[in-house]
């Protein structure tokens, strides 16, 4: 038992877990700031400005505010579910970072089935939403949770099929191998081989992370914040962080699978990975502040009538072409 | 899990208890309560939902009732003017005009031509600002957070213009029986002349960003099908009825002021849905700019208030009148009854939003919850004028 | 089929929308960044009323306590307290009695027409301007004070005479300096 714990692999995982938590926390702060600043400038206003130089300390102060708020359970709420939901939402995001290759040597744990792990664990977010919606004893939260369930379950399928198409062309489910098989230049990335799969993956990623234009579960103007209506303080903070962490995961996976990961034309390394990941995050934020929300049945229509047939067709075409060539 | 609430508290209040027609396993009773981000004020709608579909809806009004009509009986004719700006603060000049027009009809007071043109200019500017706010708020309900900021950017120019002439930015008590309170400052007409092409240049951006956006079109098209006979039954007016095909505009049906001398079209759409009402209002924005252009060209010199305009203690002759104007939301009417004293005997305010909201209960049956939000936004409700 | 092709064509509007917001992203802000910047069009703003001073005596208002503003105000936010007539001293009373006995006309001492107190409840005021319009001596004007804040409603009950004196002191004008 002790030799398992003290083995280099286990140590490496523990170290990686700590590093991942630090990365998520730091990135949470960066993303909060980025979102508010980009939102501000798109709307021709400054965004956060007062706290720190140009508002750089704003996320820290926000975190402090959230921690300082009173934690209370709404009347009639199911205590266990209510408090478990944000914890589950946040904690289960951590394993998602294990197989992601941040740099040539910077994968937490090289595993053959990295993509499968990510897909499996990303479904737990759904459980957290259900628990939050039901445990809040609030009809609005219930509606939000119901929408979230249908949305997440529906959009996992084209996501899976898009990733499978890439797995077909690369021949591996290991994320670090997928990166190594791509080159540094944009025409050597997988996106050149699978542009449709990238598009489908990105749209499904938006829906899985409940980002606009698919943010119905937390539709601010319809459902008064949907499933996290009754949460305040750090519980809300955890949901918030979990959402940003999920965004980072999907963008990181997209970078690894489609955009060449840490490979760059010159000086390959972790900085390329981060640059591409942040470009995708910027795109996600940009989309949020541009489009209105898609109605719920139209959301499902997009999935069942467009994304699913397209991803299936893409997969079959890929299978055919890989067999032939 | 202990409930600390008594049975009465759990099942709701007076309105939701009467709304419920007995235990029903399939429906969920939900309050789009008085505090809700997209009910445009303190409107409460009790919904019976089956999943996402609305089985029954019932608006509950009165959360913003400020007894404006009762206040009229205790204010002098001039002293009641500030109230009119507060009834619908988004198109305050139109409400001012409706009241002042009723007083003028009652007292047989003439209005100088320059004052009429000033009224037209300020009313149309106010209409543009009201439509811009409606546009931004509607998109906010639908989930787009930026167009409201762009709309407010343009609205600032209008608010600055109206501030320079009346001193307020939102609740104008600018009209007086017999004219307007203040004359235009020297730079006003030039600034309006500069504003018109600026606004005209912004409208294509609004169209490209929002009106043509496929997500918005899917949210608005075929949502809230409002046949014309339903409009007639509820007395809906304004863009609501013009989006269902009937070209009824008070400025042409019961002309007042100098509108007969100004050329403008009445935008009408036949699609009967939320998109139709949306396009009607965007068309009205362009028509307002047309009217402004003509008015600033044609405005004559003269006085802004007739000599012998009513003083504060003025007593109206005995009688009653009704005066209607075209507001941003529909037909605004003021029915004034005078018994010869210095305060009105009765002042009835006809708010277009009240009639427009009444058709919501019938319109929302069978629609999705998200569609209900879209329909509410397309009706352009301002709860203060509904509750008065 | 045509419907599907049309839906694909409609996706172009999404790209157009992205370009518009992206274009706005690189443009500068249009807001006035208070308190680093200030708005400059406050002169025309009709804010809380103030008393206008006499041309020759900037600490005294032109008000003649006719009470027109008090009765005209729809919200009842103005309270004006007149001066009481000064009580004559014993000698003056004596002199007046003697003069009356002689059959001369005696003018009783009258109260000065300036207000003793001019109170204004800003929390009730609706900025309609009727008081200013109806004042026969043009004693009420509007200030451009948009930055008035307070923590208690009682602080909104303004004493306009005191504010007039404070303004005159601020501007450093005394009776002698005015031409």
Cβ contact A44–C27 (<8 Å):
yes
- Interface contacts (B, C; CB < 8 Å): 80
Q: C143, C50 in Cβ contact below 8 A?
A: yes
The lowest-confidence range among A102-116, A173-187, B2-16, B199-213 is B2-16
pLDDT tens-digit readout, A220-244: 545 566 677 778 788 888 888 888 8
CA distances from residue C153 to B177, B198, C121, C143, C158 in whole angstroms, order as listed: 34, 42, 9, 20, 10
Range among A133-147, A298-312, C78-92 with highest mean pLDDT value? A298-312
More confident residue, B5 or A101: A101
SS3 C159: strand
Minimum distance, in Å, between the CA of residue B15 and any CA atom of chain C: 33
Of B139, B209, B370, the CB nearest to A295: B370
Please, what is the average pLDDT of chain C?
84
* Structural domains present in chain B: 7-60 (no CATH), 68-387 (1.10.645.10)
The answer as to whether C93 is a domain residue is: yes
Compute the distance between CA of residue B146 and CA of residue B139 in angstroms, rounded to an integer.
8
Q: How many other C-beta atoms are found inside a 10 Å radius of the C-beta of residue C32? A: 12
Residue A170 CA: distances (Å) to CA of A257, A262, A312, C93, C163:
9, 16, 18, 117, 80
Contacts of B81 in chain C (CB under 8 A): 74, 128, 130
Q: What is the mean pLDDT of chain A?
A: 85
C29: how many CB neighbours lie within 10 A of its CB? 14
Mean pLDDT by 10 residues, chain B (388 residues): 52 71 73 73 84 85 90 90 90 93 91 93 94 92 88 92 90 90 90 93 90 88 88 91 90 91 91 91 93 92 87 87 93 92 91 91 86 88 89
Residues of B in contact with C134 (CB under 8 A): 311-312
Sort out which chain C residues have CB atoms less than 8 A from A42's CB and list them.
21, 24-25
Q: H helices within C31-157, ranges in order?
A: 68-72, 90-102, 130-134
How far apart are the two ends of chain B, measured CA to CA in Å? 43
Q: Which positions 213-232 of B are in contact with C (Cβ < 8 Å)?
A: 213-215, 217
Residue contact C13–B171, C-beta within 8 A: no
Please check whether residue C178 lies inside any domain of the structure. no
Q: Which chains touch C (3 or more CB pairs under 8 A)?
A: A, B
Q: Residue B314 has what pLDDT?
A: 86
pLDDT for B338: 92
Q: What digits encode the pLDDT tens for the residues C68-91?
A: 999 889 888 999 988 888 777 777
- Residues from chain A that touch B218, judged by Cβ atoms under 8 A, are 294-295, 298
> With an 8 Å Cβ cutoff, is C10 touching chain B?
yes
Provide the shortest C-alpha distance from residue A161 to chain B (in Å): 25
Give the closest-approach CA distance of A310 to chain C in angstroms: 13
Residue A15 confidence (pLDDT)? 86
Cα B245 to Cα B222: distance, rounded to the nearest angstrom: 15
Residue of C nearest to B311 (CA): C134
Task: Please state whether beta strands B175-176 and B179-180 pair in parallel, antiparallel, or not at all (unpaired).
Answer: antiparallel
In chain C, which residues have their Cβ closer than 8 Å to the Cβ of B78? Answer: 72, 130
| Residue C179 belongs to a domain | no
Q: Which of A308-317, B82-91, C23-32 has the lowest mean pLDDT?
A: C23-32
Nearest chain B residue to A219 by CA distance is B143
Nearest beta carbon to residue A46 from set C17, C20, C29: C29
- Return d(Cα C12, Cα C8) in angstroms, integer: 8
Cα–Cα dist B126/B91, whole Å = 6
Q: Which residues of B317-339 are buried (b: 16+ CB within 10 A; e: fewer)?
A: eeebbbbbbbbbbbbbbbbbbbe
Cβ under 8 Å to B: A residues 197-256: 212-213, 215-216, 219-222, 224
B219–A292 CB contact, under 8 Å:
yes
CB–CB of A222 and B216 under 8 A? Answer: no
Question: Which of C20, C32, C70, C125 should one mutate to test binding to chain B, selecting the residue with the greatest count of B CBs within 10 A?
Answer: C20
Question: What Rg value do the Cα atoms of chain A yield, rounded?
Answer: 20
Residue C177: band (very low, low, confident or very high) from pLDDT cuts 50, 70, 90 = very low
| Token pair in block for residue A310 | 């397209």
Separation CA A28–CA A58 (nearest Å): 12
Any idea of the CA torsion for B285, B193, B116, B385, to the nearest 10 degrees?
40
**Number of domains observed in the structure of chain C:** 1
CB contact under 8 A, A44 and C14: no
As a whole number of angstroms, the distance between CA A319 and CA A161 comes to 12
- The pLDDT value recorded for residue B277 is 92
Contact C13 B185 (CB under 8 A): no
| Residues B306/B314, Cβ–Cβ less than 8 Å | no
Using the Cβ of A54 and the Cβ atoms of chain B, whether some distance falls under 8 Å is answered with no
Q: Comparing C-alpha atoms, which of A274, A242, A287, A283 is closest to residue A28?
A: A242
Q: Does C127 touch chain B (CB under 8 A)?
A: yes
Min Cα distance A324 → chain C (Å) is: 30
Tell me which chain C residue has its CA closest to the CA of residue B153.
Answer: C30
Map out the domains of chain A as residue ranges.
Answer: 75-324
What pLDDT was estimated at residue B349?
93
Q: Which of A38, A287, A291 sits opposite C25 (nearest CB)?
A: A38
Q: Does C22 touch chain A (CB under 8 A)?
A: yes
Query: For chain C, what percent of residues have pLDDT higher than 90?
Result: 7
Write the DSSP string, C132-172. HHH-TT--EEE--------SSGGGGEEEHHHHHHHHHHHTT
CA-based nearest residue in chain B for residue C39: B160
Maximal CA-CA distance, chain C = 116
Read off the pLDDT band of A75 (50, 70, 90).
confident
Tokens of B378: 């397309």
Question: Closest approach of chain C CAs to the CA of A293, in angstroms?
Answer: 13
Residue C178: is its pLDDT beyond 50?
A: no
Domain assignment present for C38: yes
Select the residue of C14, C21, C31 nearest A46 (Cβ to Cβ). C31
Q: Which domain holds residue C111?
A: 2-170
Contact B64, B384 (CB under 8 A): yes
Question: Using CB atoms and an 8 Å cut-off, which of residues 197-216 of chain B contact chain A?
Answer: 209-210, 213, 215-216
Q: Which residues of B touch C142 (CB under 8 A)?
A: 167
Instruction: Please state the length of chain B.
Output: 388
Contact C47, C120 (CB under 8 A): no
Which residues face C80 on adjacent strands? C118
Average pLDDT over residues A92-111: 83
How far is the alpha carbon of C133 from chain B, nearest alpha carbon, in Å?
Answer: 9
Query: What six digits make up the tokens of B151?
Result: 């709309």
Collapsing DSSP to helix, strand or coil, B267 comes out as coil
The shortest C-alpha distance from B310 to chain C (Å) reads 11
Any chains having at least 3 CB pairs less than 8 A from chain A are B, C
Domain of C118: which CATH number?
A: 3.30.70
pLDDT band at C179 (very low <50, low <70, confident <90, very high): very low
C79, containing H or E segment: strand C78-82
Neighbours of chain B (3+ CB pairs under 8 A): A, C
β-bridge partners, B333: B324, B350
Distance CA B1, CA A314 (A): 51
The pTM for the full model equals 0.90
């Amino acid at each position: 038992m002790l030799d398992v714990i003290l083995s280099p692999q286990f140590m490496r995982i523990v170290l990686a877990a700590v590093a991942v938590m630090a990365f998520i926390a730091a990135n949470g702060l960066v993303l909060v700031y980025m979102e508010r600043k980009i939102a501000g400038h798109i709307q021709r206003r400054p965004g956060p400005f007062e706290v720190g130089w140009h508002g750089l300390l704003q996320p820290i102060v926000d975190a402090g505010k959230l921690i300082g708020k009173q934690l209370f359970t709404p009347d009639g709420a199911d205590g266990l579910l209510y408090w478990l939901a944000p914890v589950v939402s946040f904690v289960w995001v951590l394993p998602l970072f294990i197989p992601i290759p941040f740099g040539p040597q910077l994968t937490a744990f090289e595993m053959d089935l990295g993509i499968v792990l990510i897909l499996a664990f990303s479904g737990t977010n759904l459980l957290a939403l259900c628990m939050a919606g039901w445990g809040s004893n609030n009809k609005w939260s219930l509606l939000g949770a119901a929408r979230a369930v249908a949305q997440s379950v529906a959009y996992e399928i084209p996501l899976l099929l898009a990733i499978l198409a890439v797995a077909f062309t690369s021949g591996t489910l290991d994320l670090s191998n997928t990166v190594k098989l791509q080159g540094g230049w944009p025409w050597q990335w997988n996106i050149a081989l699978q542009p449709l799969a990238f598009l489908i993956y990105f749209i499904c990623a938006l829906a899985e992370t409940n980002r606009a234009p698919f943010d119905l579960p937390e539709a601010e103007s319809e459902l008064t914040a949907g499933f996290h209506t009754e949460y305040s303080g750090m519980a809300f903070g955890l949901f918030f962080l979990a959402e940003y962490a999920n965004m980072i995961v999907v963008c990181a996976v997209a970078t690894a699978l489609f955009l060449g990961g840490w490979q760059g034309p010159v000086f390959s390394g972790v900085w390329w990975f981060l640059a591409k990941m942040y470009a995708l995050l910027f795109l996600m934020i940009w989309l949020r502040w541009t489009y209105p929300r898609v109605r719920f049945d139209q959301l499902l229509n997009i999935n069942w009538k467009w994304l699913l047939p397209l991803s299936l067709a893409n997969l079959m075409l890929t299978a055919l072409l890989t067999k032939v060539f | 899990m202990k409930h600390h609430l008594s049975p009465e508290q759990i099942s709701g209040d007076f309105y939701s208890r009467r709304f419920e027609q007995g235990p029903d396993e399939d429906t969920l009773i939900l309050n789009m309560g008085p505090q809700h981000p997209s009910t445009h004020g303190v409107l409460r709608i009790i919904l019976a939902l089956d999943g996402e579909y609305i089985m029954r809806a019932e608006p509950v009004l009165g959360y913003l009732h400020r007894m404006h009509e009762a206040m009229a009986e205790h204010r002098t004719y001039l002293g009641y003017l500030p109230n009119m700006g507060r009834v619908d603060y988004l198109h305050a000049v139109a409400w001012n005009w409706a009241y002042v027009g009723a007083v003028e009809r009652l007292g047989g007071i003439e209005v100088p031509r320059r004052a009429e043109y000033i009224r037209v200019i300020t009313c149309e500017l106010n209409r543009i600002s009201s439509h811009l706010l409606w546009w931004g708020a509607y998109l906010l309900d639908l989930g787009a957070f930026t167009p409201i900021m762009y709309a407010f950017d343009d609205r600032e120019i209008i608010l600055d213009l109206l501030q320079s002439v009346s001193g307020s930015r939102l609740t104008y008590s600018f009209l007086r029986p017999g004219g307007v309170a203040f004359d235009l400052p020297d730079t006003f007409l030039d600034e309006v002349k500069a504003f018109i092409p600026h606004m005209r240049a912004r409208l294509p951006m609004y169209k490209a960003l929002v009106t043509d956006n496929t997500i918005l079109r899917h949210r608005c098209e075929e949502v809230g099908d409002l046949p014309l006979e339903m409009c007639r039954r509820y007395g809906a007016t304004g863009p609501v009825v013009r989006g269902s095909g009937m070209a009824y505009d008070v400025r042409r049906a019961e002309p007042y002021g100098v509108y007969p001398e100004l050329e403008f079209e009445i935008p009408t759409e036949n699609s009967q849905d939320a998109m139709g009402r949306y396009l009607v209002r965007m068309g009205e924005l362009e028509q307002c700019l047309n009217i402004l252009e003509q008015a600033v060209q044609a405005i004559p010199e003269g006085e802004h208030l007739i000599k012998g305009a009513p003083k504060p203690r003025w007593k109206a002759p005995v009688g009653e009148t009704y005066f209607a104007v075209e507001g941003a939301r529909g037909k605004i009417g003021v029915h004034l009854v005078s018994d010869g004293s210095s305060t009105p005997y009765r002042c009835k305010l006809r708010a277009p939003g009240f009639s427009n909201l009444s058709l919501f209960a019938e319109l929302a049956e069978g629609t999705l919850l998200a569609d209900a939000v879209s329909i509410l936004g397309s009706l352009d409700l301002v709860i203060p004028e509904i509750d008065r | 089929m045509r419907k599907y092709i049309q839906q694909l064509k409609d996706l172009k509007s999404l790209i157009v929308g992205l370009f518009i917001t992206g274009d706005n992203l690189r443009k500068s802000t249009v807001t006035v960044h208070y308190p680093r910047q200030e708005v400059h069009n406050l002169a025309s703003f009709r804010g809380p009323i103030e008393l206008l001073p006499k041309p020759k005596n900037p600490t005294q208002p032109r008000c003649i306590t006719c009470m027109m503003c008090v009765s005209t105000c729809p919200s009842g936010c103005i309270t004006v307290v007149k001066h009481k007539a000064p009580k004559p001293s014993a000698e003056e009373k004596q002199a007046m009695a003697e003069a009356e006995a002689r059959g001369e006309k005696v003018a009783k001492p009258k109260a000065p027409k300036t207000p003793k107190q001019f109170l204004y409840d800003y929390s009730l005021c609706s900025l309609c301007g009727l008081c200013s319009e109806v004042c026969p001596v043009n004693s009420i004007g509007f200030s451009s004070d948009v930055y008035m804040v307070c923590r208690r409603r009682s602080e909104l009950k303004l004493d306009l005479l005191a504010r007039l004196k404070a303004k005159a002191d601020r501007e450093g004008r005394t009776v002698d300096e005015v031409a």
